[in-house]
Structures are given as structure tokens and as C-alpha cells.
Amino acid sequence: MEYRTEHDSMGQVQVPADRYWGAQTQRSCMNFPIGVGIETMPQEIIHAFGILKKAAAMANHALRPEKMTAEKRDAICRACDEIIDGKLNDHFPLVVWQTGSGTQTNMNANEVVANRGNALAGKPLLHPNDDVNMSQSSNDTFPTAMHIAAVLALEDRVIPAIDRLCATMRRLEEDNRGVIKSGRTHLQDATPIAFSQEISGWRTSLERDKQLLLLALPPLKELALGGTAVGTGLNAPAGFDTQVADAVSKITGKTFLPAANKFHALTSKDELVFAHGALKALACDMMKIANDVRWLASGPRNGLGEIRIPENEPGSSIMPGKVNPTQCEAVTMVAVQVMGNDVAVGMAASQGNFELNVFMPVCIYNFLQSARLLAEAIVSFNDHCVAGITADREKMQENLRRSLMLVTALNPYIGYENAAKVAKKAFQDGCSLREACLALGFLSAERFDEIFHPEQMV
């Protein structure tokens, strides 16, 4: 491998000749060999840095045209566009496990933008600190990148995935109107429910999770940029925060605002904790729905067997013909991961010492993993499982007719205690509720048939 010599304030460093990063990025590669090639800084953060560095150049040109010339702005913007498009991903090698402020990733972005911009300009036009990092600090750029990445992940991936699954469930509700089945509470037989009602419960849970995510978005759309090192805005021109938020809004097509209090924006991660709480709520509901689906599909002969789900792949290396609810299992594993991530996000957010939180990389790493996994798992679950659910109406009817809790319909006519006697006798003797009620003399056959209609109990 060929190398070139780069320098920073600490001296010279050898850097791979085919990479745009510089001395500070190389030092981080040398000093933090932790999770290399596996736990690198999320691409969503790199994408967000491309957005914010472009926005900062635009704002600096508007406020400081004598320093951020049109030529420099254009070179920065061209390089940032390549970062935004993912063309320079190989030039961002740093791991999550680095400085807790994300300084080295900020400098990685500064160096790549400067060196790529210089290559595009054909001359040494840009300096990573003086030009690309103008009016900024790692302490306000990294939390800004966190918020941009979080908003994009929620609005562009998680919420559309929820909408997709909800649309499928609405179709299933319509397809199964009038289909009555046994309800279940405590994993025991309960009074009847329409299958469409059961599905509506799943759908409404997801719709509520979407509402929670929407509530979490406005605080995330407030940006720390303009606070610089400790929130005072040192070395940033007046109005920079507003200009840069406007520029980020134009680039993303989403409405971002400057954080009203930069001291809060640098040290507190409460917005991410709140938003991840909504992701955890979504994970909890997905766990419940996936478990319901695999229980209802259990069998095919020795389980509940009330629904059929797509058979996607063989389920056993030894048992021929076995098919498993693998999509449900993937969803539940993702849910467990998200719940674990919530602990990490909360712990990281609690570590705001004085003017800066220094657990930011691990905080956003877990947040973005949760958003990414949930979005992808929900789409996969929808496409490969839920969209193909069909009700086994005969099995539902069979289970419904055998349910002892249909006896609840008799409460108004024979009382709770007598109805309990009917249920117990039917269970002990292995007979129907009708036979037990008649044997105990609580109702005549005609009266029983007149009042006992399970389909009307929903």
C-alpha cells in the first residue's frame, strides 16, 4: 500500500494514499482498534455530516463571504453531495468506540470534504479546520448530526414501515368481518371475539406507536449547530444557527430549527431518550403481535391452528415437512435488541457532565440500530407473513363451540354461580354446555336455544 504524509497540530502521520481522510482520522484508526470493520460509525451519521457541512458552508458564505468565498462554498458543497449520495463511504473508517464527543468523526468529515474538495478544485483550496469546520465545533456538529440522522430514520423509514403494515391489517380486517372465534385471556379460553376485532387491536397499537413517534419528532428537529464548543457560540457569526437550520431544511426537505438553548443542546440527550422510548413501545407491540400470530398459527395439528401463515422455507434439518413461523421469530429477536438498546441510550444520555455529553457515539449507534432493525423487520414481517395470513374458519368455529367461556352468556339468566357449575360439569363430564345446563335443570332445551347465541357475544 502506498502512503502520503499528512500533518496536524501534533505532527506528521502516514495516511493511505488512496483515501481522502487526513492525519486526525488516521490517529483515531491507530488509537481505537475497537470493533474495526464491524462497529463503524453508522452510515446515517456520515450522511448527516454531509448535509450539515454543506449547510454550514452555505450559511458561512451568506454571513462571511470574505472568508467563505463562493469558490470555497461550491467546492465544499460538491464534496458534500458525494458524501450525501454515499459515494465516499469508504473514506469514513472510524469506529463508534472513540472519543465520546464524536470529535474524530467530525474531523474525518472535515478532512474528507477538504481533500475531496481540493481534488475537485484542482488546487489546495480548502483547509479542514479553517474552512470546512468554520463557525463549528465537534461539540455542536455531532449532536446536530445525531438529530438529523434520527429524524430521517424515523420519518423516512420507521413511520412508512408502520403505515405499510397497518394498511395490510386494514385489508385483513375487511376480509375477516363476521368471522367469530374464541377470545383468550391469561392463555385460557375467554368470551368470543371477531377476528377482525382482534386484528384491529394490533393495528391500533401500531397507529398509537406512530403517534408517539410523531410527538417525538419536533424536539429532534431542533439543532445544536451554532453553539460551538460550550454553547456560547464562540467564533460563530450572529445568525449562523438560523441560517444553517434553514439550509439543512432546504437540503432535506424537512423543517429544522435552531435549538433555543444551546447549553441544553450540547449536554442533554433527552430528545433521543424520548424518541427511543417510542421505538421501544413499537418494539413491545411488535413482540406482542408476532407472538399472537405464531400462537394462532401453531400446529399444524397439535396447536391452535386458527390461522395459516406463508410457508417460506423448511423449518428443520431433521424433521421432514416441518415449517416454522420464522418471520415472527425474527421480529421478536429484533424487539429484544431494541429493548436492550433502550437501556444503552438511557444510560448514555445520563452522562452529561457539565457542558457536554461524552457518550454520544454509543447513544446514536444504538438509536439508529433500533430504527433500522424495526423498519426492516416490520417490512419483512408484513411482506413475508402478515400479507399472507388466512383464517382457518372451520378451526375457529370448532374451537369456539368447544369453549367453556361461552357460558358467560347465561349469567343474566341463571346467575354467575350456576353458570360456573355448568362450566365445571361440562369440563368434568366432557359434554357440551347445553347438555350440562339441561342436566343441572337450570334451563329447558327450548330456553337454552333461545338465549345461547355465541355470534351475538361480540
| Cα Dmax for the chain | 101
Helices 43-63 and 138-153: angle between axes, nearest 10 degrees: 120
CA 136 to chain centre: 29
Of 316, 350, 444, 453, catalytic: 316
Q: How many Cα atoms occupy the beta-carbon half-sphere of 445 within 13 Å?
A: 2
Of 7, 91, 186, 444, catalytic: 186
Grid cell 437550520 in the structure block, residue: 245
* Burial of residue 256, with CB atoms counted within 10 A of its CB: 0-12 exposed, 13-18 middle, 19 or more buried: buried
Q: Contact at 8 Å (CB) between 137 and 196? A: no
Q: With DSSP H G I counted as helix, E B as strand and the rest as coil, what are the percentages for the chain, rounded to 5?
A: 65, 10, 30
Report the 10 Å Cβ neighbour count for 79: 30
Q: Does the annotation count 138 as an active-site position?
A: no
One-letter identity of residue 338? V
- Distance (Å, whole) CA 203 – CA 206: 5
- Distance (Å, whole) CA 308 – CA 297: 6
Q: Can you name the residues that pair with 391 across neighbouring β-strands?
A: 307
Q: Does the annotation count 453 as an active-site position?
A: no
Question: CA dihedral defined by 363, 365, 366, 372, rounded to 10 degrees?
Answer: 140
SS3 258: strand
Grid cell 415449517 in the structure block, residue: 323
- Distance (Å, whole) CA 381 – CA 386: 6
Rg of the chain on CA atoms, in Å: 30
Report the 10 Å Cβ neighbour count for 267: 21
Catalytic residues: 186, 316
